Amino acid sequence: MASYSVINPWNDECLGEYVYADAGAVSASLDALRRGELIQRSLAAHERADILRRLAELLKTHREELAMLITAEIGKTISDARVELDRAFNTTIASAEEARQIAGEALDSDAYPPTRERIGVVVWRPLGTVLCITPFNFPLNIAMHKLGPAFAAGNAVLFKPGPQNTASARRLVELCYEAGMPPETLQLCIPDVPAMAELVAHPQIKAINFTGGTAAANAIAKAAGFKKLLLELGGNDPLIIMPDADIDAAVAAAINQRFATAGQRCTATKRVFVHREVYARFRDALVEKTRTLAVGDPTLETTFVGPVIHAAAADEISGRIEDALSRGAVLACGHKREGNLLWPTVIEEVPDDATLVVEETFGPVLPLRQFDHLDEVVELVNASPFGLQAGVFTQDIRVMRRLFDELEVGLLATNDGPGFRAEHFPFGGVKDSGIGREGVKYAIREMSYQKTLVI
């Protein structure tokens, strides 16, 4: 049987040796979930809501234990891990509240002739078994963005986390059971990637709710055939700084939304476009603050930037910086490495076709690009195959309106960075950044279908 080890990215400690789920284990989980679909039918909305509310309380009670687990598994700083737990609490509470409010609508048949004197009562119904696949970087909040709405909608859930997150996923599932989720309604299963195509294609799986990279999403879409897909993928998210920007606030947003989580966030500020009039001021303030960020042991309260997930990721990020420098880019600060630690890097004059800015770079690197006209920015942002989120610092409502109209993204944050997220807002991208929307209420709809009674 194929096995894997989970290694702490900070100190290389082996956190566990595990065996991938084989065909027998997958089939046992699917059998349980078939029973779980029936159990879900017998649960009332208020019972689902109560279970989710109890789960939220358990996440609060176990906040520190879970945060430490995340820090050990993925090297996220302890303060970032606590923020993730607080977000997961909100996501779970929102799921509990939405479970009570899955509202349908009533339609009058006689809005159009012929007159038939009928009413259509439209309700949302669960799909059955939903496969939820999560990435390594937000192991609890992204999991709750899937498990919470899927359960609230009345589905049975097959949860497939990233292997790196085996321990935190197991703990989360234990807490779900402790909160009262019948085990048949939620099964944790981690097959290896080659076995995933068969699982994705399995007729019992009615929808796939996936967060991760484009390559995996393509493989899933190919294998899935006819089923609902919710795909939350990567981003190349821009932050745009206009001449009237509050520079201090813009610098703070750039730092928090790029260097926190060591830059491993789909909505991290991946590129900053700065108007020529304020470029030097923004760059100097950014570099000065970046140089003060504490880099190192993620378990320390004082650390701002911890390690990236593994050596291959660190190699890839450093390689992209090297490539940009070899093509004329200028280093403003950073680009130092020790093991999986990468110092926060600010880099200027990166060619627009360098891999560093064309691909999604998942690490603590901030490329700055000077501009004179907004047209240039719109063109460059829209040239990217990605379209997740964007941010702009300006006081000018016309600029906000123009960017909102013209940027091909799922969200534009004004006077904030592209990393803005409120758990109950619709969340998702366009183009290669995915299809469908999370954000609890919206995710419930993605994992449900509409059924109409005519009376």
Ligand X SMILES: NC(=O)c1ccc[n+]([C@@H]2O[C@H](COP(=O)([O-])OP(=O)(O)OC[C@H]3O[C@@H](n4cnc5c(N)ncnc54)[C@H](O)[C@@H]3O)[C@@H](O)[C@H]2O)c1
Report, as residue numbers or ranges, the catalytic residues.
232
Instruction: Using CB under 6 A, pick the residue from 54, 421, 437, 441 that binds ligand L7H2UBRR.
Output: 421
Asked if 411 is part of the footprint of ligand L7H2UBRR (rule: CB under 6 A), the reply reads: no
Minimum Å distance from CB 178 to ligand L7H2UBRR? 25
Q: Which is nearer to ligand L7H2UBRR, 257 or 370 (CB)?
A: 257
Residue ranges that bind ligand X, judged by CB under 6 A:
133-138, 142, 160-162, 193, 196, 211-213, 216, 219-220, 232-235, 266, 360, 362, 388, 434
Minimum Å distance from CB 38 to ligand X? 27
- Distance in angstroms (rounded) separating the CA atoms of residues 350 and 329: 5
Q: Which of ligand X, ligand L7H2UBRR, none binds 98 (CB below 5-8 Å, type-dependent)?
A: none
Q: Which of ligand X, ligand L7H2UBRR, none binds 133 (CB below 5-8 Å, type-dependent)?
A: ligand X
Residue owning tokens 């050990």:
72
Q: Which is nearer to ligand L7H2UBRR, 137 or 187 (CB)?
A: 137
Q: Which of ligand L7H2UBRR, ligand X, none binds 421 (CB below 5-8 Å, type-dependent)?
A: ligand L7H2UBRR
Asked if 420 is part of the footprint of ligand L7H2UBRR (rule: CB under 6 A), the reply reads: no
Minimum Å distance from CB 232 to ligand X? 3
- Distance in angstroms (rounded) separating the CA atoms of residues 149 and 24: 28
Give phi and psi for 198, each to the nearest 5: -65, -40
Which residue number places its CB atom closest to ligand L7H2UBRR? 266
Asked if 386 is part of the footprint of ligand L7H2UBRR (rule: CB under 6 A), the reply reads: no
- Distance in angstroms (rounded) separating the CA atoms of residues 418 and 285: 20
Q: How many CA atoms lie less than 13 Å away from 356 in the CB half-sphere?
A: 32
Query: Do residues 270 and 361 lie in contact, with contact meaning Cβ atoms separated by under 8 Å?
Result: yes
- Distance in angstroms (rounded) separating the CA atoms of residues 314 and 264: 11
CA trace torsion 437, 33, 154, 91 (10° rounding):
-50
The b/e string for 323-357 (b: 16+ C-beta within 10 A; e otherwise) is ebbeeebeebbbbebeebbbbbbbbbbbeeebebb
Residues of span 242-271 touching ligand L7H2UBRR by CB under 6 A: 265-267
